[in-house]
Amino acid sequence: MSDVVIIDVSPRDGLQNEPVLVSTENKIKLVELLVESGITKIEATSFVHPKKVPQMADASDVLDGVKHLPTLDAIALVPNTKGFERARLHNLSEVNWVSSATETFNEKNIGMTIDESISQFSSFVGQAKKDGIKTCFSIAVSFGCPYEGDVSEEQVLSVLRRAIEAGADRISIADTIGIATPDHVERLMKKVLQEAGDIPVAIHLHDTRGLGSANAYAAYGVGVKIFEVAASGIGGCPFAPGAAGNLATEDLVYLFERMNIRTGIDFEKLLDAADFAASLSSKNPLGRIRHVERKQKQ
């Protein structure tokens, strides 16, 4: 029994920007360790063009390698209809479609206008439903854009309404460059939840400025129950200059469990997964709690 849903995105968002290729075996091991900790929803890979994101070139092999995990609800990111056609050949619970709140970031990230992106999403939603695959529509740079600066709430809500009209099963609101503050999160997420109605809403937080946990709690306070995070805080978007890693899964789980907000996750096993995730990263992971807990046990 849990009060919130934790989606770990470290195998995809956490590793996509790594300059040295991580082996398929290690990606599979990371997923296995996360599942052992009790996390069932994991964004395992993305079906992007290998020339754009070489780290994800083994998407099919990763998904084939985690088929043996009975409790895993595997999620794959898809940036276009070609990506969806490749993804639907695998045992997936959900595909995550990423669009943006600004035109410039949309063009830099997926090479399309927002109109083109929504049109492509609309074109395969029906097929996804027939395949038994849920669709998540993620809105990047919802709190600020590295190219256009401030992003108005109406920009986000406009894209949100069109995603809902297109038939999205879930919505994710992303702080891609980690610029949000708790008051901003409260204001925007209240409106997003009102617009979404019965459609589940997640928040995807980067911890660039150290406010990830505060922003997550602000989102929880207004009713958000789904959180996209990454073990040890690894990651960052290759198309967002200055973006640092994600909010660390273990940091958020620690916060929630200390506040008696149930996550259903074994914290000690999660620390093992976070240690392994950190070992795969060439950067200094942003997760904080892992270091404190390990020192106390020495």
Residues 152-163 have pLDDT tens digits of: 999 999 999 999
Is 64:45 a contact under the CB 8 Å cutoff? no
For the chain, the structural domain boundaries read: 5-296
Token output for 12: 């995809």
The reply to whether 237 belongs to the active site is: yes
In the chain, the percentage of residues whose pLDDT exceeds 70 is: 96
Cα 268 to Cα 265: distance, rounded to the nearest angstrom: 9
Bridging pattern class, strands 134-140 and 94-100: parallel
Alpha carbon dihedral 269, 272, 277, 280, in 10-degree steps, equals: -150
The CA distance from 13 to 235, in Å, is: 5
Give the helix ranges, DSSP H, for 55-95: 59-65, 81-87
Residue 72 has pLDDT above 90, yes or no: yes
Q: What pLDDT does 205 receive?
A: 97
**Cα angle, residue 32 at apex, residues 30 and 33 outer, rounded to 5°:** 65
Reported pTM: 0.96
More confident residue, 78 or 240: 78
What pLDDT, in 10s, does the model give residues 180-222? 999 999 999 999 999 999 999 999 999 999 999 999 999 999 9
Average pLDDT, the chain: 95
**Residue of 15, 160, 211, 237 marked active site:** 237
Fold of 5-296: TIM Barrel (3.20.20)
Q: In the beta sheet, which residues pair with residue 170?
A: 136
Mean pLDDT of the region 139-144: 98
Q: In whole angstroms, what is the distance from residue 10 CA to residue 5 CA?
A: 15
Residue in the structure block whose two tokens are 């595909």: 95
* CB neighbours of residue 199 within 10 Å: 17
Residue 2 has pLDDT above 80, yes or no: yes
Please name the amino acid found at residue 150.
D
- What residues contact residue 194 under an 8 Å CB cut-off, 6+ apart? none
